[in-house]
């Protein structure tokens, strides 16, 4: 079951609040709890109903647990309760009567640019052993998508961006995977302290310094490539 597929479908910017509620209503079934004999000394369960969650996979309804359902759609139990409270006989959900507005989940151009800029600010290393074979670059081994998104979210909070306007982690991950050719931590045999030093200096240098540093860096990469080619021809 592809959880990311369901996440993208639910948070599709073309879906309005009513459509999201209808999706939940169709995916959550409510059943009465059979009466159970109360045991002495146990607290009585006041719930009258139990909920079953499911997704449609290849035309068949596949049941999942509550935690998987909530995490996949990135929603809370409150969202479920509010939807079921508005569900009418026949399964239709009462229409959202609030004023029309741009959906909170619709990713603005500004936020998309903010995510790109945030990812680009992380220093990345080029694999000098395979520079001519791959354009992939590497981020530090101490990083991962969750850590990067957490830093992005903290930055949004510092800028007083409302929580509902901050993109979800799956959006950040999708942009990272589709718009960048990045990975985490180059293989040990691919790293070079001098390369790392050049990369850091290039990030911080002004235009005049960058030109000089880039020339030195290119010479270093050229020498490294010659050594590799020499080993390969032996």
Model confidence pLDDT, tens digit, residues 204-234 = 777 778 788 888 877 877 776 666 566 555 5
pLDDT of residue 232: 52
- Structure confidence by residue, pLDDT tens digits, 186-205: 555 455 667 777 777 777 77
pTM reported for the whole predicted model:
0.42
Asked if 194 contacts 130 with a C-beta cutoff of 8 angstroms, the reply is no
């Amino acid at each position: 079951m592809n959880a990311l597929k369901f996440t993208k479908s639910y948070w599709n910017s073309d879906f309005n609040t009513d459509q999201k509620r209808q999706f939940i209503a169709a995916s959550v079934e409510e059943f009465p709890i059979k009466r159970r004999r109360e045991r002495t000394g146990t607290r009585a369960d006041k719930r009258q109903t139990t909920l079953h969650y499911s997704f449609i996979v290849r035309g068949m309804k596949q049941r999942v647990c509550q935690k998987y359902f909530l995490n996949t759609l990135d929603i809370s139990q409150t969202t479920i309760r509010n939807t079921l409270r508005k569900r009418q006989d026949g399964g239709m959900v009462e229409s959202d009567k609030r004023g029309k507005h741009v959906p909170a989940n619709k990713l603005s151009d500004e936020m998309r640019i903010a995510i790109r800029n945030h990812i680009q600010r992380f220093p990345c290393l080029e694999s000098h052993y395979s520079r001519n074979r791959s354009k992939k670059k590497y981020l530090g081994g101490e990083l991962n998508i969750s850590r990067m998104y957490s830093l992005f979210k903290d930055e949004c909070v510092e800028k007083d961006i409302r929580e509902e306007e901050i993109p979800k982690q799956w959006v950040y991950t999708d942009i990272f995977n589709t718009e960048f050719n990045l990975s985490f931590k180059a293989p040990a045999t691919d790293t070079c302290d001098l390369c790392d030093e050049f990369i850091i200096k290039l990030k911080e240098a002004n235009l005049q310094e960058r030109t000089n540093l880039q020339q030195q860096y290119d010479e270093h990469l050229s020498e490294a490539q010659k050594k590799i080619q020499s080993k390969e021809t032996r």
